[in-house]
Structure 1
Amino acid sequence: MHWASGIWWIAVGALLIGELATGTFYLLMVACGCAAAGVARLAGASIEVQWAVAAVVAALAVWLLHRSPYGRSMRPGATRNPDINLDIGETLDIEGWHNGLARATYRGTQWDVELAEGEVEHAGRFEIAEMRGSRLVVRACPNR
């Protein structure tokens, strides 16, 4: 069963290729587990020990990755992400408020507008901070 150690290294290669296609780092952690199992095979460990080493190392590596800053999503949600919603950061004029809500013309049509938390009601120019469905959530422009 000399070919068994080669299987672990083939798995490492396949996982690395898959990692290059996805870019999530999780397949890289599983590849680390397979590499550890390949090293265990070269050290003469039984197949059961190899599988245990692969599982423990991969699980530990995934757990550590998940707890690191690289495992957390740093992107804002789609409602606040200007890469998804091109309206985020655009400005509009609001003439009056009623309990934190208003109607404003933006892109040639009327929109429901909501004041962002912590903002003060006043007439003037506002910046779109978020889009919740068809409602614009705005905050005061920094240069008002």
Structure 2
Amino acid sequence: MADSTFWWLLAGACIVLELLTGTFYLLMLALGFVAAALAAYLGLALTGQVATAAIAGGGAVAIWYAVRSARGRRAGATANPDMNLDIGEVLSVDSWNADGTASVHYRGARWTVVQRAAQPPVAGIYRVVGVVGNRLMVDKA
């Protein structure tokens, strides 16, 4: 079997494993194997092919890891404005109950409101920072 065929088979195996597991890093390793297959076509020795696979695949993984780390972690579904359109909206709380909750009319329905941080319950304008079930978590605006 030719060296390039071996590298193409490894790249295909990584792609299949990626489809089964859903990890994007296996695609980066597959890129390294494709680079090694191209190096084999160019006539590099086996050592050069392995080095090409390691540099290309490892470099792609390192770059992808750096990009993901730079973006930071996304907020969970309860506090992600991409998933809950209520987050960031402003509402008015007229009075608070003794248990630390309030009932407000928001978007045509009655909602239960709780404060995210332990602050004194004062009537006023609040900003929605999270949605947990049917409760809106708010901070003072």
Fold-level similarity (TM above 0.5): yes
- Normalising by the residue count of structure 2, what TM-score does the alignment of the two structures yield? 0.64
Structure 1 position 78, deviation (Å): 1.6
Give matches, 1:1-144, under 5 Å: 1-2=1-2, 4-5=3-4, 8=7, 11=11, 26-38=25-37, 39=39, 42-45=43-46, 50=50, 54=53, 58=57, 61-62=60-61, 64-65=62-63, 67-71=65-69, 74-97=73-96, 98-141=98-141
User: Aligned letter for 1:43?
Assistant: L
Q: How many residues align?
A: 129
Question: TM-score by structure 1 length?
Answer: 0.63
Contact 1:126 1:140 in 2 (8 A): yes
Q: CA deviation at 1:31?
A: 3.0
Letter in 1 for 2:79: R
The answer to whether the 8 A contact 1:125-1:140 is kept is yes
Aligned-partner Cα distance in 2 for 1:34–1:54? 5
Q: CA deviation at 1:43?
A: 2.5
- Deviation of 1:75 after TM superposition, in Å, equals 2.6
SS at match of 1:102: strand
Structure 1 residues 120 and 57: alpha-carbon distance in aligned structure 2, compared to 1, 3 A threshold? farther
Partners of 2:64 and 2:117 lie apart in 1 by 31
From the superposition, tell whether residues 100 and 55 of structure 1 become closer, same or farther in structure 2 (CA, over 3 Å).
farther
Deviation of 1:129 (Å): 0.8
How far off is 1:25 after superposition?
5.8
Q: Counterpart of 1:101 in structure 2: which amino acid?
A: T
CA distance in 2, matches of 1:92, 1:139: 10
Give how far 1:123 is off: 0.3
> Cα offset for 1:131?
0.2
Gaps of 5+ in 1: none
Percent identity between the aligned chains? 39
1:40/1:53 contact within 8 Å kept: no
SS in 2 for 1:77: coil
